A and B are shown apart, each in its own frame.
Chain A
Amino acid sequence: MTEKETKLLDRICKKDQGSFESLYKTYYSKLYVLAFKYVRNQEIAEELVNDVFLKIWVDAARLNITQSLGLYLSRCIVNAALNNLNKEKKTAGKQEKYLQEFDEIDDADDEAQILEEQLLKLEKAIELLPPQCKKVMMMSKFDKYKQHEIADALDISIKTVKNHLTQGYEKIRGLLSKELIIMAILFFNRLFN
C-alpha cells in the first residue's frame, strides 16, 4: 500500500466517514463494472459492491492488506461475484463460460484497474470514429436504440445504419490493434534505451 492509502485506511479505522466516502467514490464505478462483468445483473452488482465496502467500514481495523488497496478491493469483488455465481449455478449456462475465462486471471492483477483501462481505451477509439458512424454506434450500444429507431432519428436508411455499425466495429478493432503496436514500440524503446 502507498503511504496515502495507509493513512486513508487509518482514518477509516477511526470511523472517519469523510475518508470512507472518498474511498467509496474513487473505486465505486470500477468495482461496479467488474462485478457486473461477472454477475451480469445490475442489482446484484450494486449489492456486491456495497457489501464489500460495508465490510471495510465495519472491519477496517482487522484488515491485513499487503498489496495495493485497489488490488485488494478487486479480489474482494471477484470472490464475492464467484460466490454469487456458484450459488446461482442452476442458471449457469452462459455464465459458466465467463467462469472459465476468468479462471485464467492472475491473482496478482488488479482486475478492476485492467478492465477500467481497457474500457477507457475503447472509449477513446470510439471517440476517433467519423462523426456519423460514432453517433450510430453510441445510439446502438449506449442508448440501446434498435436499428430502425436510429434510422428514424437520424433520417437515414436502415441499410446505412447497418453499414455504420459494421464499419464502427471494424474501425474500432483496427484502432485498438494499432494501439497495441504503439504500446509495444514504446515498450521496446524503453527497453533498449
Chain B
Amino acid sequence: MRNANQQNNTPYHLIVDEIEGQISAQDLQLLEDWKTANPKHLKAYSEIIKMHDQMELLAIRNKTNPDKAWKKFAPVLGKKPEAVQPKVIRIRNYYTWAGTAAVIFILMFVVGQLSFTDLKTISTTKNEHKKVNLPDGSQVTLNENTTLSYNKREFLKNRTVKLISGEAFFDVKHEQQHPFLINAAEANVRDIGTSFNVKISQEQIVVVVNSGEVALENPELEKKLNLSAKDRGMFNRKTKVMTSAKNVQINYKSWYDQKLSFIQTPLDEVAADLNDTFGTVIIFQDPDLKNRKLTAYFNNQSEKQIIEIITATLQLQVKKKGRSFVLYK
C-alpha cells in the first residue's frame, strides 16, 4: 500500500476541507502529519494549493471585461491631447524640451483632475468594522459586509456619500449651507445635523435616528418622510412603501457602540441581540429558558463577561461548546 501510486495516497479530501475552511482539528493534524512525512507530500500539497489559487485567478480573469474597463478608463485621457498637439509642434521649434515638459505637465495635471482615484470606496468584510473620517469631520462607522463610497474632491462642496450595501452609523457635522445626503440604494437619507443608523437589507432600507432630524426620501416616487430622534423609518424595496414608527429596538446600534440594554427582555431576544453585536451563538438546553426575562445594561463589556453576568443574574449554568454557549439550569 505504501508503495502504491502516490497520486492515490494524496489526501485530496483533507486538502479540499482545508481550502474550504472547514477542516476539523483532528483532520488538520492528520494533514500536517502527512505533509511532514515525506518531502514529496509537501510538494504535492503546494501544487494543489497553487492549483486552487490559479482557479481563483482564472475566475477573476474570466470576469474581466476589457470593453467595460476601457469605457471607464477612456474619459481620463480626455480630449485634450488632440487640441494641445498643434501647439506642441509650434513650441517644439523654439523650446523643444521645455515645451514637451510643459505639455506633459499639463497632461498630468488634467489627468490628476480627472483621476479615477477621486472616487473613494471603503469596504468591510465579515466580522470587520471600520471608522471612516470624512473630509468635513463627519464620522461614519461601517458594520461588517458594508461598502460605502464618496468623491474625495467634490465632497466639501457636495456632501454626498453612497451606501452601496450593508449597515453604517453616521455622526454628521451640521453645516447649514451643505446638507448631507446619503444614497442608500433606492432611498435617499437627507440629514439635518445628527447621528443615525442606516441599514440596507434585501427587503428594506431602515433608518433609525439617534439624535436630531433626518429626511428619508425616494426620489423616484417623490416620497418623503421626516424622522426625529428615536424614530425608525423603513422603505420596503419590494412594495415601495415607506413607513415610520417609534423605534422599539433599543439595541439597534449595539454593533457600533457595544451598548446593550434589556428591560424585562425574553432571553431569546437577548440572544438575538448578542448575535447581532458579537456573533455570539447561544443554545438553550431547556426551551423554557427562552422566556426567562432579563433586565440589564452592558457598556463595552466582552461577550464572555456578558454571558457570565446573565448566568449569574438568572442563576443559570453555562458551558462553552466550540463557538457557542450552552445555557442550562
Contact = CB atoms under 8 A, between A and B. Distances in A.
Say whether A and B bind each other: yes
Contacts of A167: 12
Contacts of B82: 15
Contact of A24 (B61, B70, B81, B121): B70
Mostly helix, strand, loop or mixed at chain A's interface? helix
Contacts of B7: 170, 173-174
Nearest to A31: B64
Given A119-B54, A170-B10, A33 B61 contact: yes
Contact of A33 (B16, B52, B64): B64
Contacts of A15: 81-82, 85
Contact of A57 (B48, B60, B77): B77
B16 A29 contact: no
B116 A162 contact: no
Contacts of A36: 57, 60
Contact of A115 (B20, B52, B57, B62): B57
B107 interface: yes
Interface-centre pick from A15, A43, A59, A169 (highest chain B CB count, 10 A): A169
Nearest to B57: A33
Interface in B78-131: 81-82, 85, 100, 104, 107-108, 111, 116-117, 121
Mostly helix, strand, loop or mixed at chain B's interface? helix
B66 A24 contact: yes
Contacts of B117: 47
A49 B51 CA distance: 24
Interface of A: 15, 17, 20-21, 24-25, 28-30, 32-33, 36-37, 42-43, 46-47, 49-50, 53-54, 57-59, 61, 115-116, 118-119, 122-123, 126, 137, 141-142, 144, 147, 162, 165-167, 169-170, 172-174, 176
30 contacts: A21-B74, A29-B61, A32-B64, A32-B69, A33-B60, A37-B57, A42-B60, A46-B69, A47-B116, A47-B117, A50-B116, A54-B76, A58-B104, A58-B107, A61-B100, A115-B57, A122-B54, A122-B55, A142-B62, A147-B20, A162-B16, A165-B16, A166-B13, A167-B12, A169-B12, A169-B16, A170-B7, A170-B10, A172-B51, A173-B51
Interface of B: 7, 10, 12-13, 15-17, 20, 47-48, 51-52, 54-62, 64, 66-67, 69-70, 73-74, 76-77, 81-82, 85, 100, 104, 107-108, 111, 116-117, 121
